[in-house]
Amino acid sequence: MEILFLGTSSGTPTKQRNVSGLAIRKANSKAWCLVDCGEGTQHQLLETNLTLKNLQAIFITHIHGDHCYGLPGLLASAAMQGRDKALWLVGPKKIQQYIEAVMKTTDLWLGFDIKFVDVEGLSDAFQVAEFEVDAVRLSHRVPSYAYSFTEETTPGKLNQEKLKSDGIPAGPTWGKIQCGEDVVLDDGRKVIAEDYLLPPETPRRIIVSGDNDAPELLSRVAGQASVLVHESTYTQEHLDKVGSGPQHSSAKIVAEFAETCHLPNLVLTHFSPRYVVNGDPGHSINDIEEEARSIYSGNLFLANDLECYELKKDGLLVRTK
């Protein structure tokens, strides 16, 4: 599983960071999904190997502009590039109203259908691009959601050593067993498929959170998660100054939750523009990192634009670009 950060700033872009956007896909797959689409997201995509033709679904966490203002332009570009395949758009109902209003007022015509799914009514997992996607309601000034991406379960591999030791010939018979089909051999023996299948690998899960001041709301999906991507807009010191009104998280709040849940990998993003590289104390991105590291003992990253991460089969998240 791979995640690529297209924007990591909160509220407004900076010289180093665009506003929110994240791509997720199975490793080596052309098909991909987009989580949030802040202004400039399609420009960021030009720096990647992702194409709008292979985009399977867009998931919007909430209606605030830094998470959705880039959506109309991206859809228009997809149409201009000749896309004709329907596109899933999952998000709050107001996202649909927003897109329909822009299309009407700007005379935007799309040569493909948008299949809108109201996240507020999403009770079952949504299947797309080899993922099962679940939504979790968060705590923010407007309805906000996290999306949990769990890879589809694959059948267990064949226990080839046992097949060979039991004299079961390779070939079409093994293929049937791999598909879970019981078979009868030429010598009359009945082979029960499940006796020759190794246990399936535990599916990996990545949670991508929208704006949220209560990480504990993710407890239901965090237990089986390998990675949590969560906003860390402020340090706790600054959050105490601005108060609860913005309803954002500090590095401390997120780190405490991740540590309590024993999450193996944590990626912080959505940083206030006040935090910059090599900034003075109180204005340095290092303040965010130091606060999180003082609490969280797992594998910690602070995301930067256009960084790519891969979640390995063993559950370790590594930065690949």
Q: Is 106 found in the same domain as 32?
A: yes
Q: Is the pLDDT of residue 88 over 90?
A: yes
- Computed over every residue of the chain, the mean pLDDT equals 96
Contact yes or no for 59/68 (Cβ under 8 A): no
Q: What CATH number does residue 9 fall under?
A: 3.60.15.10
pLDDT band, very low/low/confident/very high, at 225 (cuts 50, 70, 90): very high
- CB atoms under 10 Å from CB of 13, counted, come to 17
179-213 per-position pLDDT tens digit: 889 999 999 999 999 999 988 788 999 999 999 99
Between CA 231 and CA 212 the distance in angstroms is 7
Instruction: Check whether residue 167 and residue 299 sit in a common domain.
Output: no
Query: ∠ CA 43-47-50 to the nearest 5 degrees?
Result: 90
Predicted pLDDT at 123: 77
- Tokens 């332009």 — which residue? 73
Dihedrals φ, ψ of 257, to 5°?
Answer: -65, -45
Q: Which residues form the catalytic set? A: 66
pLDDT band for 279, please (50, 70, 90 cuts). Answer: confident
Query: Comparing 282 with 148, which gets the higher pLDDT?
Result: 148
Classify 87 as helix, strand or coil: strand
| 130 burial via Cβ count (<10 Å: 0-12, 13-18, 19+) | middle
Q: Is the dihedral of CA 310, 62, 57, 205 positive or negative?
A: positive
Rounded Cα distance, 123 and 129, in Å: 19
Domain count of the fold of the chain: 2
CB-based contacts of 172, cutoff 8 Å, min separation 6: none
Model confidence, pTM? 0.90
pLDDT for res 3: 98
Which structural domain, as residue segments, surrounds residue 182?
160-196
243 with 257, same domain: the answer is yes
Q: Check residue 248 and give its pLDDT.
A: 97
pLDDT of residue 282: 85
Assess whether 67 and 96 both reside in one domain: yes
**d(C-alpha 224, C-alpha 70), whole Å:** 32
Please give the pLDDT value at position 172. Answer: 93
Q: Assess whether 140 and 175 both reside in one domain.
A: no
Burial 64-100 (b: 16+ CB within 10 A, else e): bebbbbbbbbbbbebbeeebeeebbbbbbebbbebbe
The residue among 91, 88, 150 whose CA lies nearest residue 120 is: 91
Kindly list the distances between the CA atom of residue 224 and the CA atoms of 45, 155, 203, 263, 264, in Å, as whole numbers in the listed order. Answer: 30, 19, 9, 9, 10
Q: Residue 124 pLDDT > 90, yes or no? A: no
Give the side-chain half-sphere CA count within 13 A for 248: 23
- Residue 216 near residue 257, CB atoms below 8 Å: yes
Whether 267 and 192 share a structural domain: no
Comparing C-alpha atoms, which of 27, 23, 26 is closest to residue 52?
A: 23
Share of the chain above pLDDT 70, in %: 100
Q: Residues 165, 150: one domain?
A: no
Give residue-wise pLDDT tens across range 246-273: 999 999 999 999 999 999 999 999 999 9
Alpha-carbon 28 to chain mean position: 16
Domain boundary among the residues 196, 217, 248 is at 196
Mean pLDDT of 82-96: 98
- 77 & 43 share domain: yes
pLDDT of 299 > 80? The answer is yes
Regarding whether 233 and 88 lie in a shared domain, the answer is: yes
Per-residue model confidence (pLDDT) at position 281: 86
Picking from 146, 174, 196, the residue at the C-terminal end of a domain is 196
Q: Which residue shows structure tokens 């997720």?
A: 24
263 and 307 inside one domain: yes
Which tokens is 169 given?
């010939």
Secondary structure class of 222 (helix, strand, coil): helix
Place of tokens 């506003």: 19
Is 169 found in the same domain as 145? no
| Position 154 pLDDT exceeds 80 | no
3-state DSSP assignment of residue 270:
coil
Specify whether 175 is located in the same domain as 26: no
Q: Out of 196, 219, 252, pick the residue that ends a domain.
A: 196
| Comparison of pLDDT for 70 and 152, the residue scoring more | 70
Any alpha helices (H) in the chain, and if so which ranges?
Answer: 41-45, 71-80, 93-105, 160-165, 172-178, 219-222, 236-242, 251-260, 285-293
Is there a contact between 281 and 235 (Cβ–Cβ < 8 Å)? no
Give Cβ neighbours of residue 187 (< 8 Å, ≥ 6 apart).
none
In sequence order, which residues have a C-beta less than 8 Å from that of residue 63 and are 6 or more positions away? 91, 92, 94, 95, 98, 142, 143
